[in-house]
A and B are shown apart, each in its own frame.
Chain A
Amino acid sequence: MSANPSAANGTPLQSPSTKTTRATCPYCGTGCGVLIESRQGRIINVQGDPQHPANFGRLCTKGSTLHLTAADTVTQQTRLLVPMRRDQRGEAPAPIAWDTAMEEAADKFAAIIRQHGPDAVGFYGSGQLLTEDYYVLNKLAKGLIGTNNVDTNSRLCMSSAVAGYKATLGSDAPPACYEDFNHAQTMFIVGANTAYAHPILFRRIEDARRANPAMKLIVVDPRRTETADMADLFLQILPGTDVALFHGMLHVLIADGMIDAAYVNQHTQGFEALQDIVRDYTPDSVASTCGIPVADLILAARWFGAQTPTLSLYCQGLNQSSRGTDKNAALINLHLATGQIGIPGAGPFSLTGQPNAMGGREVGGMANLLSGHRDLSNPQHRSEVAALWGVDEVPAQPGQTAVEMFEAAARGEIKALWIACTNPAQSLPDQATVRKALEKAEFVVVQEAFGTTATCAFADILLPATTWGEKDGTVTNSERRISRVQAAVQPSGESRHDWAILTDFGRRLEKRLTQRTAHYRAGINTLFPYDTPESVWNEHRESTRGRDLDITGLSYGMLEASGPQQWPLPEGAGAGQARLYANGVFPTADGKARFAAINYEPVSEPPDQRYPYSLNTGRLRDQWHGMSRTGTLGRLFGHVSEPAIDIHPDDLTRMGLQPGDLVEVASRRGQIVIPVQPSGTIAPMQAFIAMHWGEEYLSGLDNQGQAMSGVNALTVPVFCPQSKQPELKHAAITITPPTLPWRLLAVAWLPESEALAVREALKPLMSAFAFTSCVPFGREPHEKGKVGVLFRAAGIEAASMDVIARIEALMGIDGVDVLRYQDKHRGQHRAMRMERSEEGLKLAAFLMAGDISAEAWIRPLLQDELVADAYGRALLAPGATPPVAIASKGRQVCTCFNVTEPAIIETLASCQGSTDARLQQLQGALKCGTNCGSCIPALRQLVKLHPATASAT
């Protein structure tokens, strides 16, 4: 028992039995440091690490709720806790012993390699693996098996940034650092919704602007995001026209004589060729290509060139593109031409999507890379790595990258897939092909922490991996900063560390691939002599010697003693390097950077008459990737509660649709059904669907009777020829209202120990309707330990009573306390389960089918846990108007303190003065936005929208 009872409520308060462990947040590439508090082997709280240079103690909505995602209730319901095997695809997997699982995996892989050669297998990893995991994965494929078919979801994330840096600066190294925010005079944010995707960096940007009001913020994005709302200048360009914009700006810079000729001459090559190209990019033509006012283009160029130093921040808007490398390079052109690089407050700063995409790049864990920023295509590099590893060679032939790997599997060329720490059945474009690949593959191993991902359903063998709070190793964040990640608690169930699983697998495979091991250098009997993550890391460190990312001066000890360090940090150096290229010398043969003389190319699938809308995808503020972790918390659905497609209000009106109506969204590759909502952030004839909504949350049966696989059923597999990164940010789609008159909505508060399991149990029913979505809601920790589950469906006709009864049983809408209304022949069905409380009867769960217009008032009644005594049988009445007025708490704006919009608007009426002053008063009054601050941009909008009432003056 805890020696200190007052610590039992999970407050950060220290107590003798409370242990604090340093680690990092497993979400975005900001790489925030966290302090994990644990007691008796259980994680009880998380705080930002005040000493970590990425966040100085801050955490966003996602980071500050990490400990809740590690609660026993969540672990028991969602984690993969024992190895499992599926005898038949489509059947439920059964637990097996680790040894059995690993032996079978090794046998299958060895057999396929012997029969079809090393390139018949593929490894697909993740930017969320730690550097050590990544290193072993890479060595396993390239060193032991002898295939370069090893790639990761970083391919969907950062490979265009990698290729962009290498094409211009000579190496994959972001030259700037977070500290530069405080020195920049102009901040140029392109294709990045920092407010959502990197909230803590956005806090730092807000701080920097407060400290330096003269700083200009330019935001370029097809959507008017919360980031754009903050901008002094917002350029709402047409999708994919970034290169034209950058060339247009360069054109203006040249015309206005804002080029740093000296820098260009001394430190770069190829400016003339580029100049010849941009000559044609006149402001007028560019303005019309990008769909922005000429004046804005010119102003952007002038701020960029004149109000220096200028720092560019960019992310998936540039990367996830069929011209991703060009977009990155064209932006870097601007920095080279103006000499805005290598000095404080300047540089092209690529923000990383994932927590350790950088680490993966460092160990060369990609199909075209080798350890220590080496290149497969370079024979010198290959022999260096072969020497390091003690093998006679590493294969020269570039491997299959993410999209190619699954296309190859769909063609039957790759016969065995090993998937670790990622969810391709959710995240890859063109899901039809991905699923074909997973079905066709002879053998699929999924090494995962969570058993709830779509990909798990395709696995022959499931291997339970450790995850946040349990893992031990290192990660590198966007600013080249390496942090130690230490384990706060023991692995859950029988789960094992990823590096250890791969090491075990490697050793078993070595026994079977003797013709490979025969060529090991004398004295080497295994490529996997690892007993700790540190032993792996030390080998990786050695591979960086003499490279641009040289960290031979770094050690686990140093990271633990003096905290996170930036690379390079060569032997002898006391500290890492904050900025690169201060001396203007670049890691190229002649030390000069290269201008990229390229032309603007439009998106790979331009809208046409059949598919007139441009679909954009991206992140939500409070969700992460496939939501295997964030999706376990109802409170993270407070910001955006259900899947939806955002379109321009005029398009909604033109189609005669109401907010919330279902629409069928189709591309050339697939279709989904999803509710539509108008959004001021979207330009006409464009649309946005969050990248998170996979089949785990959004499904239904398509016209061919196939289960619909979420947003990526629509996206294009076309990728950038250099970076091989697919164009997830643009697909041509059509939006049509389907005829699905019959609706079903089931909503229930359930015990936290059951809710997530119930959601899993509901999944099979998601393909029983033409449309379904299923999400949790709530606010952990809930005072009564409840978590909400919402199941929504639609169909052409009423579902069978059997299906409805199954849903009711799963959601606890049974027993004696249920009010019921049923008109079977009309498909009208309503059931309300009531629960007694001190205040009176409350609605604990309900299911309504047929006409669900009553959702408008019944749902708030349940979600806000209001007393329902006054309603009686009126709860069963149809229609959107409540028989008794309802005081709904309204939309939640601040997740941390559960502050809702109505409360904020009410308070704002009496907040006086400037926007900032009123925001402060608001925060003083309601505490909203005073914890993680992720909602501050939203609060700022509300402040602008709701002036103080005259009476209050």
Chain B
Amino acid sequence: MKKMKLVMVGNGMAGVRTLEELLKVAPDLYEITVFGAEPHPNYNRILLSPVLAGEQTLDEIILNPLSWYAEHGITLHRNKKVVSVDRTRRLVTAQDGTEAEYDRLLLATGSTPFVLPVPGKDLEGVIAYRDIADTNRMIDTARTHKHAVVIGGGLLGLEAANGLMLRGMEVTVVHIAPWLMERQLDEVSAKLLQRSLEERGLKFRIGAQTQELVGDENGRVQSVKFKDGTQVTADLVVMAAGIRPNTELAEKIGIHCNRGIVVTDTMQTVTDPRVYSVGECAAHRGIAYGLVAPLFEQGKVCANHLAQFGIGRYMGSQTSTKLKVTGIDLFSAGDFMGGEGTEEIVLSDPFGGVYKKLVLKGNKLVGACMYGDTADGSYYFKLIREGTCINDKRDRLMFGESNIVGVGHEGQSRCPSI
């Protein structure tokens, strides 16, 4: 019999993982077509930082080579940005006019970097940090220029800053929040991180508000100007002030969006049951996830429904973070800030450069934040996800699954205080 048609818009990690899951359970159900705006096959976006840092090459981070698409009879349209969808005719049209019909449509358009709406944002040398192209431009600039400013002291910004520094640039990180990675770290651990990064050579402007990017006569950025009037020389400015779900297409075709493409627990859009969405573009129960683990969970659920098994629901995810800066061990998961109704267990070791905070609610672990020793991160994350009762192990919980500590996983700044 004739196969159904599945069209996926977006060729990123979440979407392709969904296809992999689908092919596992229903290899022959669909005739699959994929549109990707980038020229590359699916690659591991998370590993762009190591590439920038010169620790890995682009080939090494490719997840699905072109051969994979061929093997599974997937039609891949690279470099083709989808511009419209006719949901009554169930027809997808790309910029270059390429068309594809669908029975099911999977929107996996991911996210776009947030660019500060400041004067000079369009100057030459001002870029976002999102894909291979951005990464290459940074690598090239590092060869020819000296001063870089990274706007945004979050996960991505710090990784970019670290990479540029390793490529020989003098890097200043501008961060508007009171401490770095405020969504992944509490103040104590953030300060430890900052001190350790400073020791490596990064400079920071914490709490500084960017007012304008100043350009030279050639239209290239030359400095960043702050509200307090001070300036920092910059011939490269990387915008890493966060991402926004890419809902441009979805909104255009009348799919309900609210800080992301609104989906149900089955990853179907609330607007059109034939249209699914996964990844950074999808808003599930009000949350658009920016980390890979939850997106893979979404993919699994979505694939199951595309396969018409109709079982499995996505209930949301507990997220955990690791900063991919070599030598800096940092981990946070769940409600690591604690507060009302929670209890905290805290350990600090200035000699080991280690800080750990476990947040408990009742008899369960609900959050963890660790700096300098993340050996037990996965253990805590497991306890958090599974909501294990920890009453019996509370007094030893801090000392890890094996109850043995003090072995390895030391932070860089061994004696930051002296």
- Among the listed stretches A114-122, A696-704, A866-874, which one makes contact with chain B, having 4 or more residues with CB under 8 Å of it? A866-874
CA distance A820 to B352 in the complex (A): 12
Task: Tell me the smallest distance from the CB of B39 to a CB of chain A, in Å.
Answer: 49
| Cross-chain contact A823 with B395 (CB below 8 angstroms) | yes
Whether, in the assembled complex, B354 has its beta carbon less than 8 Å from a beta carbon of chain A, the answer is yes
Q: Are A877 and B343 in contact, with the CB atoms below 8 A?
A: no
Q: Quick one: which of B339-397 are within 8 Å of A by CB? A: 343-352, 354, 373, 394-396
Binds B, one of A69-77, A200-208, A373-381, A811-819: A811-819
* Interchain CB contact (< 8 A) of B351 among A819, A821, A824, A870: A819
Please, how many angstroms separate the alpha-carbon atoms of A888 and B369 in the complex?
36
A822 to B351, CA, bound (A): 17
Structural contact, B404 and A874, CB atoms closer than 8 A:
yes
A875 to chain B, nearest CB (A): 8
Judge if A826 is at the interface, Cβ distance under 8 Å.
yes
Determine the chain B residues whose CB is within 8 A of the CB of A826 once the complex forms. 394-395
B399 within 8 A of A: yes
> What residues of A have a CB within 8 angstroms of the CB of B418 in the complex?
816-817
Which A residue's beta carbon lies closest to that of B372?
A: A873
The residue that A851 contacts in the complex, of B349, B352, B395, B404, with Cβ under 8 A, is B395
Whole-angstrom distance from the CB of B353 to the nearest CB of chain A? 11
Residues of B within 8 A of A870 (CB): 406
**Alpha-carbon gap, A816 to B350, bound state (A):** 7
Q: How far is the CA of A825 from the CA of B346 in the complex (A)?
A: 12
A871 contact from B348, B394, B403, B406, Cβ within 8 A? B406
Interfacial chain A residues near B347, Cβ < 8 Å: 820-822, 873, 876
A563 at the interface (CB under 8 A from B): no
What is the bound-complex CA distance between A820 and B354, given in angstroms?
A: 11
Chain A residues closer than 8 Å to B344, beta-carbon distance: 822-824
Interface string of B30-73 (1 = CB under 8 A from A): 00000000000000000000000000000000000000000000
Chain B residues with Cβ under 8 A from A53's Cβ?
Answer: none
Contacts of B348 in A (CB 8 A): 819-820
Check if A873 sits within 8 Å of B354, measured CB to CB. yes
Interface residue? A878 (CB, 8 A):
yes
* Given A877-B396, A877-B403, A883-B404, also A872-B346 (CB < 8 A): no
B88 at the interface (CB under 8 A from A): no
Cross-chain contact B398 with A816 (CB below 8 angstroms): no
What residue of chain B has the Cβ atom nearest to residue A876's Cβ? B347
Which residues from chain B contact A405 at a C-beta distance below 8 Å? none
Q: Which of A690-738 contact B (CB under 8 A)?
A: none
Q: Are A821 and B404 in contact (CB under 8 A)?
A: no
Counting CB contacts under 8 A, is B230 at the interface? no
Closest chain-B Cβ to A577's Cβ sits at a distance in Å of 71
The answer on a CB contact under 8 Å between A828 and B405 is no
* B144, CB-defined interface residue at 8 Å: no
Report whether A825 and B351 are in contact in the complex, using a CB–CB cutoff of 8 Å. Answer: no
A823, A841, A879: the one within 8 Å of B394 (CB): A823
Q: Name the residue in B346, B403, B406, B407 with the highest tally of chain A Cβ atoms < 10 Å from its Cβ.
A: B406
**Chain A interface main SS type:** mixed
Is A32 engaged at the interface, CB distance under 8 Å to the other chain? no
- Residues 114-128 of B, flagged 1 when their CB comes within 8 A of A and 0 if not, give 000000000000000
Give the distance in Å from the alpha carbon of A834 to the alpha carbon of B349 in the complex.
Answer: 10
Q: How large is the interface on A (under 10, 10 to 19, 20 to 34, 35 or more residues)?
A: 20 to 34
The docked-state distance in angstroms from the alpha carbon of A445 to that of B46 is 80
Which residues of the other chain, A, contact B403 by a CB distance below 8 angstroms?
A: 877
A822-B345, A826-B395 given; A817·B350 CB < 8 A: yes
- Complex formed: what's the CA distance from A841 to B415 in Å? 12
CB nearest neighbor in A for B342: A825
Contacts of B343 in A (CB 8 A): 823-825
* Chain A CB within 8 A of B417 CB: yes
When distances are taken between beta carbons in the complex, the residues of chain B under 8 Å from A883 are 404-406
A890 to B417, CA, bound (A): 34
Identify which of residues 815-857 in chain A touch chain B, using a CB-to-CB cut-off of 8 Å: 816-826, 828, 834, 841, 851
**Contact status B417-A820, CB under 8 Å:** no
A877 and B344 CA atoms in complex are apart in Å by 17
- Is B406 in contact with A821, judged by CB distance below 8 angstroms? no
Do A817 and B417 touch (CB < 8 A)?
Answer: yes
Whole-angstrom CA separation of A824 from B396 in the bound complex: 14
Q: Is the CB of B349 within 8 A of A873?
A: yes
- Tell me the chain B residues, 161-193 only, with Cβ under 8 Å from chain A: none
B406 contacts A874, C-beta separation under 8 Å:
yes
A826, B394: Cα distance in complex, Å: 9
Q: Which of B394, B398, B407 contacts A821 (CB 8 A)?
A: B398
Nearest Cβ on chain A to B86's Cβ, whole angstroms = 60
**Set of chain A residues within 8 Å of B345, measured between Cβ atoms:** 821-823
User: Chain B contacts of A823 at CB under 8 A?
Assistant: 343-346, 394-395, 398
**Which listed residue (A820, A825, A828, A872) contacts B406, Cβ 8 A?**
A872
Interface hits, A331-369 → B, CB 8 Å = none
Q: Which residues of A contact B351 (CB under 8 A)?
A: 817, 819, 834, 841, 872
List, in ascending order, chain B residues with CB within 8 A of A874's CB: 399, 404-406
Residues of A within 8 A of B349 (CB): 819-820, 872-873, 876
When distances are taken between beta carbons in the complex, the residues of chain A under 8 Å from B406 are 870-874, 883
The answer for the CA separation of A879 and B395 in the assembled complex, in Å, is: 10
Decide: A822 near B396, CB < 8 A? Known: A874-B404, A874-B406. Answer: no
With contacts A826-B394, A873-B354 taken as known, whether A816 is within 8 angstroms of B417 at the C-beta atoms is yes
A889 shortest CB reach to chain B, Å: 23
Asked if A873 contacts B405 (CB within 8 A), the reply is: yes
Q: A820: which B residues are within 8 A, CB to CB?
A: 346-349
Q: How far is the CA of A819 from the CA of B351 in the complex (A)?
A: 8
* CA of A826 to CA of B345, assembled, Å: 9
Q: How far is the CB of A847 from chain B (nearest CB, A)?
A: 15
Inter-chain CA distance A820–B345, complex, in Å, is 10
A821 → B minimal CB distance (Å):
5
Q: Which of A822, A877, A879 has the most CB of B within 10 A?
A: A877
Alpha-carbon gap, A318 to B352, bound state (A): 62
- Closest Cβ neighbor of B407 among chain A residues: A872
CB-based nearest B residue for A820: B348
A157 vs B215: C-alpha distance when bound (angstroms): 96
Q: Considering the complex, give the chain B residue whose CB is closest to the CB of A815.
A: B417
A876 to B350, CA, bound (A): 13
Closest chain A residue, CB of each to CB of B356 = A873
Docked pose: A874 CA to B398 CA in angstroms: 10
Are A872 and B405 in touch, CB under 8 angstroms? yes
- The complex places the Cα of A872 from the Cα of B375 at a distance, in Å, of 15
Instruction: Identify the closest chain B residue to A883 (Cβ).
Output: B404
Least CB distance, B172 to chain A, in whole angstroms: 27
User: Nearest Cβ in chain B — how far from A53, in angstroms?
Assistant: 59
CA distance A818 to B394 in the complex (A): 23
B373 to chain A, nearest CB (A): 8
Query: Which residues of the other chain, B, contact A828 by a CB distance below 8 angstroms?
Result: 395
Cβ-defined contact, B404 with A873, below 8 A? no
How far apart sit A821 and B398, CA to CA, in the bound complex (Å)? 9
* CB-based nearest B residue for A832: B349
In angstroms, Cα B390 to Cα A823, docked, is: 14
Partner pick for B352 among A816, A817, A872, CB 8 A cutoff: A872
**Chain A residues closer than 8 Å to B417, beta-carbon distance:** 816-817
Task: Give the docked Cα–Cα distance between A896 and B347 (Å).
Answer: 41
Q: How far is it, in angstroms, between the C-alpha of A841 and the C-alpha of B350 when the chains are bound?
A: 13
Q: Which residues of chain A have a CB within 8 Å of any CB of chain B?
A: 816-826, 828, 834, 841, 851, 870-874, 876-879, 883
What are 26 A-B residue pairs whose CB atoms fall within 8 Å in the complex?
A: A816-B350, A816-B417, A817-B350, A817-B417, A818-B350, A820-B348, A822-B344, A822-B347, A823-B344, A823-B346, A823-B394, A825-B343, A851-B395, A872-B352, A872-B405, A872-B407, A873-B347, A873-B349, A873-B354, A876-B349, A877-B396, A877-B399, A878-B395, A879-B396, A883-B404, A883-B405
Leading 8 A-B pairs by shortest Cβ distance: A872-B406, A816-B417, A825-B343, A823-B345, A873-B405, A874-B406, A821-B347, A873-B349
Interface residues of B (CB under 8 A from A): 343-352, 354, 373, 394-396, 398-399, 403-407, 417-418
Known contacts A820-B348, A823-B345, A876-B347, then 9 further A-B pairs from the complex at CB < 8 Å, ordered by chain A residue: A817-B350, A819-B351, A820-B346, A834-B351, A841-B351, A871-B406, A873-B405, A873-B406, A874-B405
